[in-house]
Amino acid sequence: MNKNRIEAFSDGVIAIIITIMVLEIKLPHGGEFAALKPLLPVFLSYVLSFVYVGIYWNNHHHLLGGVTKINGRVLWPNLHLLFWLSLVPFATDWMGENRFSAATLAVYGFVLFMSSLTFRVLQTRLVEANEPDSPLAQAAARNWKARLSPLFYSLGIAASFWSAWVAGGIYVGVALLWLVPERRIDHTAANAKTQNL
Amino acid sequence: MNKNRIEAFSDGVIAIIITIMVLEIKLPHGGEFAALKPLLPVFLSYVLSFVYVGIYWNNHHHLLGGVTKINGRVLWPNLHLLFWLSLVPFATDWMGENRFSAATLAVYGFVLFMSSLTFRVLQTRLVEANEPDSPLAQAAARNWKARLSPLFYSLGIAASFWSAWVAGGIYVGVALLWLVPERRIDHTAANAKTQNL
Amino acid sequence: MNKNRIEAFSDGVIAIIITIMVLEIKLPHGGEFAALKPLLPVFLSYVLSFVYVGIYWNNHHHLLGGVTKINGRVLWPNLHLLFWLSLVPFATDWMGENRFSAATLAVYGFVLFMSSLTFRVLQTRLVEANEPDSPLAQAAARNWKARLSPLFYSLGIAASFWSAWVAGGIYVGVALLWLVPERRIDHTAANAKTQNL
Amino acid sequence: MNKNRIEAFSDGVIAIIITIMVLEIKLPHGGEFAALKPLLPVFLSYVLSFVYVGIYWNNHHHLLGGVTKINGRVLWPNLHLLFWLSLVPFATDWMGENRFSAATLAVYGFVLFMSSLTFRVLQTRLVEANEPDSPLAQAAARNWKARLSPLFYSLGIAASFWSAWVAGGIYVGVALLWLVPERRIDHTAANAKTQNL
C-alpha cells in the first residue's frame, strides 16, 4: 500500500473538482457590468462550493497526514468520498442556475451530507488500520465537527422546503464552523502541544 | 526510467477521466425534483463508469506497487491503456443519453474489453521486465479476474443486441466481481501473509 | 503539515487553470484561414492569461521553494490565491469574446489585482512561519515587483474606462516586468551568489 | 530549483491536454452504430493527437530524467513548450470537424512545428545548465529525430495546400518514426549499455 499515491490521486481529483466548477459559469451576454448581475447566484454558489471543496481537501490532508499505516480497505472508502465530492459541481451549478430553489438546495445539502458521511467512513477505516491509541484515533475521537456536520446538513435539507435563506444560512454556517476553529486548533497546538482540546 | 513519474502521469490522467465525466451530466431544465428524473440513465451510467475507472486505478496502483524494475517498453502499453480509458467518458455519455440502446451498450462493452486487454499487455510487459518468480509475476499468474474479464465483456457485447438488461447486468456483475474479492484478499493477506490464494 | 502536498495540490489546480482556458476557444465556423480571424482577440487574451498563470506558478514555486517551515495557517491563504486564479479563465474568455470592452478589462484587472494581493498575504504568512532573517524573509523584503503589481493593476482598472489600449498595455507591461528580470536575477545569482540585489 | 515540481507541473498539464481532447468529441445524434460514422475524422484526429501528446510526454520524461542540474532559465522554455502543446486540442478538433481541410491541416502542422522547436529550445537550455559531456548533452547530440522533426512538419504544412493525404501521411509518418525506434534504443541500451547509436 502506497499512501503517497492515494494522496496524489485524491489531490488530483479534488484539484479538478475545485477547478472545473468555474467552467460552469456561463459567459454573460454582453460586455458591460450589468451583464454580470444575473450571474450573482451562480457566483455565490461557486464561492460556497470552492470553500467546501477546500475544506474537504484540508481535512483529507490532515486525516492522511496523521496516518502511519494504511491498507487496501481504505481505497474504496476514499473513492466513495471522491464520488460524492465529484457531484458538487453539478449540484452547485443546478442550484445557481435555478436561484436556490427548494429542490436544488435539498440536493446540494444531500451531496454535502453524503460527503460528510463517507468522510467519516474513511476516517473510521483509517483508525482501524492503526493502533487504538494512535494520534489519528485521538484526533478522530475529539473531531466533534465531523460528527455534527451530517446533522446540520440534515437540518439544511429539511429547511430547504421551508426557507431558502435558512437552508443557505445553515450551509454557510457549517462552512464557517470548519474555517474558523481550524486556525484556533493549529494556533493552540503551536503554543502548547500537550494540551488536548 | 522513473517509476514515480509514470505513476504520477497515470494518476493525473485517471483522475481527470474519473472527474470530467460529471461535466457531461447536463443541467436539467427546471429546478424541481421532477426535472432530475430524465437524468436517471445518465446518472446510472456515471456511477458504473466511476466504479470502473476506480477499479482500474486500484489495479494500476497494485500492479505498479509490486514492480521493482521498469524499462522504456512499458511506456507505450501504459499510454495504450490510458487511451482506452480516456474513451470511457464518451462511451458513458453516449450510453446514458440514448438510454442504453443496443449499439451504445456494445460500444461501452468494447471500450471495457479493450481496456482489460491493454491492462493485460501492460501487466505482461512489467512481468517481463522483472524476475520470473517476482511477487509481481506470482500475483499476475493467479490474477484470474484479469484473465476472465475480457471474456465477460465479450459476452456483454453479444448480449447488447439481445437484451439491454442482460448486457448491463454483465457489466455491473464484473464490476462487483472486482469490488468484492479485493477486500477478501487484502483481509486474508493481513491475517496470514504466507497463505497463497 | 506537509509542504509537498500543498505544492502538489497547487500544481494540480494551476495546471488545470492554465489548460482549461483553451477549452474556451470556441471552434470557428468553417475550415479556412479566414475563419480564424474573429478568434484573434480570444487568442490574444489566452496568450496573456497563459503568461500570467505561468508567472504565478513560477512565483509560487519560488515562494514555497524557499520555505523550510510551514503551518496550518498557510492553507487558507493558499486556497484564497487559487480561488482568484481560478477566475482567470472566466475573465479571459469574457474579455476576449467582448473584444476588450471597458467592463471586461476592468474585471480582468480586478482578478489580477486580487491574485496579487492574495499572493502577498500568502507570502506574509509564510514569512511569519519562518525565522525573521530566513532567506524567504529576505527575498520577500526585496520583492519590489510583488509590492508594485497591485498598484499597476489599479491603474489598469482605472484606465479601462478611458482607453482599452492603455489598460491592455499596462497588463501586458506588468507581465513583461515579471518575465524579464526573473532571468536577470537568476543569471546574477548563478554568477555571484553573495551579491544582494 | 526543484526538478520534481517542474516534472509534476508538466505532467499535470500534459495529462490534462491528453484527456480533455476527448471532451471535444461531441455526442452523435442517435444511439445506433450509423450515428458514429460522421465522428470518424474527429476520432482519427483524436488518435493521432493522443499519440503525439504521448510522444511529447515520453520525450519530456526522458529529457528531464537525464538532467542532474537545473536552473531558473528552463522554467519559461518549459512553459513555452506547454503553451504550444495546449493548442493541440484546439487544432485537433478544428481539423476533425472540418474533415482535414487545407487550412486546418496547415495549422495542425504549425502547432506540431512550434512544439518541436520549443522542445529543442528546452533541450538546449538544459544542456547548457549541465556539463558539456553530460549524458544529457550526448543524448541531445545524437537526437537526430528532434532535429529532423521540424523539417518534416514544414513539409507537411506545405503539402496541406496540395494534398490532404500527403500532409496527413507526413504527420502520421513522423509519429511512427518516434514510436518505433524508441523501443529499439531502449532494447539496445538494455543489452549493451556502452554501445553508442
Would you mind telling me the total number of residues written for chain D in this entry?
A: 197
Residue D43 touches partner B, C-beta closer than 8 Å: no
- Residue D30, phi-psi category: left (phi > 0), alpha (psi -120 to 50), beta (remainder): left
Residue D28 touches partner B, C-beta closer than 8 Å: yes
Average pLDDT over residues B131-160: 87
Query: B19 vs A23: CB contact, 8 Å cut-off?
Result: no
Residue A22 touches partner B, C-beta closer than 8 Å: no
Nearest to B91 by CA among B81, B105, B78: B105
Nearest to C172 by CA among C52, C38, C90, C57: C52
Is residue B179 over pLDDT 90? no
Tell which of B19, B21, B22, B79 to mutate to test the D interface (max D CBs under 10 Å): B79
Give the whole-angstrom CA distance, residue A68 versus residue A49: 31
Give the residue carrying C-alpha cell 532567506.
C135
Cβ atoms within 10 Å, residue D121: 15
Residue D12 touches partner C, C-beta closer than 8 Å: yes
Residue B33 touches partner A, C-beta closer than 8 Å: yes
pLDDT for the residue B1: 60
Per-residue pLDDT of D70-129, as tens digits, reads 877 888 899 999 999 999 999 999 999 999 999 999 999 999 999 999 999 999 989 888
Give the whole-angstrom CA distance, residue C15 versus residue B173: 37
Chain D residue closest to B87 (CA)? D22
Average pLDDT over residues A153-182: 90
Q: Are A88 and A53 in contact (CB under 8 A)?
A: yes
Chain D residue closest to C55 (CA)? D76
Amino acid, single-letter form, for residue C85: L
Identify the band that residue A88 occupies on the pLDDT scale cut at 50, 70 and 90: very high
User: What residues of chain B lie within 8 A of the CB of A161, using their CB?
Assistant: none
Residue A72 touches partner C, C-beta closer than 8 Å: no
Q: Are D19 and B86 in contact (CB under 8 A)?
A: yes
Chain A residue closest to C92 (CA)? A27
Give the whole-angstrom CA distance, residue A2 versus residue B57: 13
Chain D residue closest to C57 (CA)? D9
Nearest to C78 by CA among C88, C68, C70, C69: C70
Q: Which chains touch D (3 or more CB pairs under 8 A)?
A: B, C
Four-residue CA torsion sign, B178, B180, B184, B190: positive
Nearest to D90 by CA among D29, D26, D19, D24: D24
pLDDT for the residue D191: 42
Identify the band that residue D131 occupies on the pLDDT scale cut at 50, 70 and 90: confident
Query: D22 vs B90: CB contact, 8 Å cut-off?
Result: yes
Name the minimum distance, in Å, from the CA of B128 to any CA of chain D. Answer: 13
Average pLDDT over residues D58-67: 86
Chain D residue closest to B75 (CA)? D58
Four-residue CA torsion sign, A114, A115, A120, A123: positive
Q: Are C9 and D7 in contact (CB under 8 A)?
A: no
- Residue D10 vs residues C42, C111, D13, D64: alpha-carbon distances, Å: 24, 25, 5, 11
Give ipTM to 2 decimals.
0.86
Residue B161 touches partner D, C-beta closer than 8 Å: no
Identify the band that residue A1 occupies on the pLDDT scale cut at 50, 70 and 90: low
Identify the band that residue D190 occupies on the pLDDT scale cut at 50, 70 and 90: very low
Rounded (5°) CA angle B181-B183-B184: 65
Query: B16 vs D11: CB contact, 8 Å cut-off?
Result: no
pLDDT for the residue C181: 52
Average pLDDT over residues D135-153: 85
| Residue % of chain A over a pLDDT of 70 | 91
Nearest to B14 by CA among B89, B112, B97: B89
- State the DSSP H helix or E strand holding residue A147, giving kind and residue range, or none if neither: helix A144-160
Is residue D56 over pLDDT 70? yes
- Residue A183 vs residues A179, A189, C70: alpha-carbon distances, Å: 7, 10, 14
pLDDT for the residue D164: 92
Per-residue pLDDT of C2-23, as tens digits, reads 788 888 899 999 999 999 998 8
Query: D16 vs B17: CB contact, 8 Å cut-off?
Result: no
Query: A11 vs C1: CB contact, 8 Å cut-off?
Result: no
Give the residue carrying C-alpha cell 499512501.
A3
Query: C22 vs D90: CB contact, 8 Å cut-off?
Result: yes
Average pLDDT score over chain C: 86
Cβ atoms within 10 Å, residue D71: 16
- How many whole angstroms from its chain centre is CA D70? 22
Per-residue pLDDT of B46-105, as tens digits, reads 999 999 999 999 889 888 887 877 877 888 899 999 999 999 999 999 999 999 999 999
Q: Which of B24-33, B35-44, B60-69, B152-161 is predicted least confidently?
A: B60-69
Which DSSP letter does residue A28 get? Answer: P
Give the whole-angstrom CA distance, residue C37 versus residue C35: 6
Average pLDDT score over chain B: 86
Amino acid, single-letter form, for residue B93: D
Give the whole-angstrom CA distance, residue D5 versus residue C11: 8
pLDDT for the residue B6: 87
- Residue D45 vs residues B93, D21, D24: alpha-carbon distances, Å: 20, 10, 11
Q: Which chains touch A (3 or more CB pairs under 8 A)?
A: B, C
Give the whole-angstrom CA distance, residue C102 versus residue C163: 8
Residue C8 touches partner A, C-beta closer than 8 Å: yes
Identify the band that residue D181 occupies on the pLDDT scale cut at 50, 70 and 90: low
Q: C72 vs C172, which has greater pLDDT? A: C172
Name the minimum distance, in Å, from the CA of C109 to any CA of chain D. Answer: 22
Give the whole-angstrom CA distance, residue B140 versus residue B121: 11
Identify the band that residue C196 occupies on the pLDDT scale cut at 50, 70 and 90: very low
Average pLDDT over residues C34-44: 92
pLDDT for the residue A82: 96
Q: Which of B109-113, C11-15, C140-144 is predicted least confidently?
A: C140-144
Residue B3 touches partner A, C-beta closer than 8 Å: no
Query: D103 vs C33: CB contact, 8 Å cut-off?
Result: yes
Q: Where are the domains of chain A?
A: 3-196
| Residue % of chain B over a pLDDT of 90 | 55
Identify the band that residue A7 occupies on the pLDDT scale cut at 50, 70 and 90: confident
Cell of C90: 472566466
Exposure of B84 in the CB half-sphere (CA atoms within 13 A): 23
Alpha helices in B21-98 (DSSP H): 40-65, 75-86, 88-97
Nearest to C3 by CA among C167, C129, C155: C129
Residue B197 touches partner A, C-beta closer than 8 Å: no
Four-residue CA torsion sign, B85, A84, B23, B152: positive
Cβ atoms within 10 Å, residue C133: 9
Give the residue carrying C-alpha cell 462487483.
B176
Nearest to A118 by CA among A162, A90, A166, A80: A80
pLDDT for the residue B186: 47
Give the whole-angstrom CA distance, residue A137 versus residue A144: 13
Give the DSSP letter string of D45-105.
Answer: HHHHHHHHHHHHHHHHHHHHHT-S---GGGHHHHHHHHHHHHTHHHHHHHHHHTTS-HHHH
Identify the band that residue A181 occupies on the pLDDT scale cut at 50, 70 and 90: low
Spatial neighbors of B99 by CB under 8 A, at least 6 apart, are B41, D31
Is residue D132 over pLDDT 90? no
- Residue A114 vs residues A54, B145, C21: alpha-carbon distances, Å: 17, 31, 31
Assign B101 to helix, strand or coil: coil
Would you mind telling me the total number of residues written for chain C in this entry?
A: 197
Query: D15 vs B9: CB contact, 8 Å cut-off?
Result: yes
pLDDT for the residue A186: 47
| SS3 letters across chain C | CCHHHHHHHHHHHHHHHHHHHHHHCCCCCCCCHHHHHHHHHHHHHHHHHHHHHHHHHHHHHHHHHCCCCCCHHHHHHHHHHHHHHHCHHHHHHHHHHCCCCHHHHHHHHHHHHHHHHHHHHHHHHHHHHCCCCCHHHHHHHCCHHHHHHHHHHHHHHHHHCCCHHHHHHHHHHHHHHHHHHHHHHHHHHHHCCCCCC
Average pLDDT score over chain A: 86
